[in-house]
Chains A and B, each alone.
Chain A
Amino acid sequence: MKAKKMFEPVLTRNIHRPNSEKIYTYLANGGYEAVRLALTKSPDELIDMVKRSGLRGRGGAGFPAGVKWGFMPKEADVPKIVAVNTDEGEPGTFKDREIVERDPHQVIEGVIIASYAVGAHRAYVYIRGEFFLGFKRWIKAIADAYEHGFLGKNILGSGFDLDMSVHRGAGAYICGEETAMLESLEGKPGNPRLKPPYPAQVGLFGYPTLVHNIETLACIPHIVLRGPEWFASIGTAESKGPKIFSVSGHVNKPGNYELPLGTTIGEIIYEHAGGIRGGKKLKAVIPGGASTPVLTAEHVDVPMAFESLAAVGSQLGTGAMIVMDETTCMVEVARRLTKFFAHESCGRCVPCRLGSRRLYEILERIERGKGKPADIDLALELAREIDGLTFCPMGSALVNPARSTIKHFREEYDFHITQKKCWAGNQIL
């Protein structure tokens, strides 16, 4: 209890201030101090700090950030790029939109430090096309950062140059995948590239590119100012630092909550998000956005951390929790999420393009009360033939809703098939 009280939000510390997105608000609250400090250190020192902090990517994959920085080539004559991923589209996730709309300078500061550390002189921001306010906020924030000498030539007299610009996506979930995002930045359809080569070898326009989610970048200034030991003291053995959890669905107080990684599912739902609406019982939680396997009420004591969620067969993903009460039909949940993935498949790989459609059709049939007894096994077999057999991680993601709801709520599938109707009375258009 004591430890919880002592936690001080850092990533969201400014967002409730009036005019929080303005550079003067940011500067008045210690903004850009981390850049000043970072520019007095050597790039290797900074890479080492980020490695020691234990920071892992906040966009879904959880790759160690410092290791990624270390992958960038050291040769000074190879032009390098930092690409900033604001293409938040994972259903249930709304943290990045809030960060960019309310505190974009925190991210810019992280970008400057990361660019200096890896020797990049160009930073490209990619923002989801739907985020028009965020797009405008990015443009204004970047312009103000130039005006104050935090971007452009010879930043704060350090001799380090960095140019930064923002680019709008145009509606495609897959562009959140890093190589699809690079394709989109190049003006092409967002089809993921085969890896390797990784972006740190061959990235945007063929140059070595460091790609980060904006919540990851927002952590950097705090690591520089407070030290990697401070960051590593928060969280669990393999999941360090603060994390913004987006909580939605059947809770009294949906919203973004910044808490230490390792906070339990139950604490987030009951102590922060106000508990389940209408005093109903918790039935299921999707812990990290639509692509992460669903968990049940029995998992309330599981810490929201990479390793503990993996241990119960799920993933931290983006840390976006979709909370469902006892009235929720889990076949409908799987159907709706699978429809999303079928809609968003880029169409490049057959298992994803056709597999997602077929899987959706099976789930739709069952939800309508027209499923056949063999359909559950057919869905599972199809999931096996999609998982891991595609260019990008979307194949493995899209099978999770069906597979995990069958695993935990198979009786609901059986009911739909034997009783030829949805137990919750859902009607599909």
Chain B
Amino acid sequence: MMATQPAIPQKVHPPEDGRKRAMLLAALYIAQEQFGWLNDEAIQRVAERLDLTVGQVKSTASFYTMFKLQPQGKYRLQVCEGLSCYLVGGAEPIINYVAEKLGIRPGETTPDGKFTLEVVQCLAACGTAPAIKVNDDLYENMTLSAIDQLLERLQQER
């Protein structure tokens, strides 16, 4: 145990060292876009480009829910299970409906690779609940028939 408290340094790390690592989240987004998910090759490439170890890259990638360490469907259906969505008929009724319709459970991808069902936390759309997201797009005031239309439209897209 140290007897005295160390003084607080004005600068902890030289920023030039830190700035390369500061690009890690942005780099992971780019890699995920290119590879579809963060497979070993994607992680390796990111590590090389930013002079980081694979361990450093993985520890960050695995911390954040939006970085995918498993293959994903073309459309990621993200259904909110937050309290505000639940109160107005969202959450489980929508999760169950989508799961039954697609024949998959939350976390799974359809065999054709088209849809992944994901249960997510509050999307900050509580005033327009129930809310879901498809990839980066937010859909608000969802009903089961709106889900039907949405899935039908996505099914038809190649």
- Interface residues, chain A, with chain B CB atoms under 8 Å away: 78-79, 88-94, 96-97, 128-133, 167-173, 184-190, 196-197, 201-202, 205-207, 246-250, 254-256, 286, 290, 320, 322, 324, 328, 333, 336-337, 339-340, 343-344, 346, 429
**Set B8, B50, B63: member contacting A172, Cβ < 8 A:** B63
Establish whether residues B83 and A333, one from each chain, have CB atoms under 8 Å apart when the complex forms: yes
Contacts of A172 in B (CB 8 A): 63-65
Establish whether residues B124 and A188, one from each chain, have CB atoms under 8 Å apart when the complex forms: no
Establish whether residues A89 and B86, one from each chain, have CB atoms under 8 Å apart when the complex forms: no
The smallest beta-carbon distance between A76 and chain B, in angstroms, is: 14
Contacts of B136 in A (CB 8 A): 132
Contacts of B39 in A (CB 8 A): none
Establish whether residues B64 and A171, one from each chain, have CB atoms under 8 Å apart when the complex forms: yes
- Interface residues, chain B, with chain A CB atoms under 8 Å away: 8-13, 15, 18-19, 21-26, 28-29, 50, 59-60, 63-67, 81-84, 86-88, 91-92, 95-96, 120-129, 133, 136-138
Of the candidates A132, A196, A249, the one having the most CB atoms from chain B within 10 angstroms of its own CB is A249
Establish whether residues B87 and A250, one from each chain, have CB atoms under 8 Å apart when the complex forms: yes
Establish whether residues A169 and B25, one from each chain, have CB atoms under 8 Å apart when the complex forms: yes
Establish whether residues A205 and B18, one from each chain, have CB atoms under 8 Å apart when the complex forms: yes
Given contacts A78-B10, A168-B29, A206-B13, contact A248 B129 (CB under 8 A): yes
Given contacts A132-B137, A206-B15, A290-B83, contact A89 B22 (CB under 8 A): no
Establish whether residues A322 and B126, one from each chain, have CB atoms under 8 Å apart when the complex forms: yes
Which chain B residue lies CB-closest to A189?
A: B63
The smallest beta-carbon distance between B24 and chain A, in angstroms, is: 3
Establish whether residues B124 and A130, one from each chain, have CB atoms under 8 Å apart when the complex forms: yes
Establish whether residues A170 and B28, one from each chain, have CB atoms under 8 Å apart when the complex forms: yes
CA–CA, A297 to B125, complex, Å? Answer: 25
Establish whether residues B19 and A205, one from each chain, have CB atoms under 8 Å apart when the complex forms: yes
CA–CA, A129 to B25, complex, Å? Answer: 10
CA–CA, A248 to B23, complex, Å? Answer: 36
**Set A93, A186, A429: member contacting B124, Cβ < 8 A:** A93
Establish whether residues A94 and B125, one from each chain, have CB atoms under 8 Å apart when the complex forms: yes
Contacts of B87 in A (CB 8 A): 248-250, 322, 324, 328
CA–CA, A185 to B19, complex, Å? Answer: 9
Which chain B residue lies CB-closest to A328?
A: B87
CA–CA, A89 to B65, complex, Å? Answer: 13
CA–CA, A79 to B15, complex, Å? Answer: 11
Contacts of B128 in A (CB 8 A): 254
Contacts of A249 in B (CB 8 A): 83-84, 87-88, 126
Contacts of B120 in A (CB 8 A): 130
CA–CA, A145 to B19, complex, Å? Answer: 24
Contacts of B23 in A (CB 8 A): 187
**Set B11, B21, B88, B127: member contacting A187, Cβ < 8 A:** B21
**Set B10, B63, B84, B88: member contacting A91, Cβ < 8 A:** B84
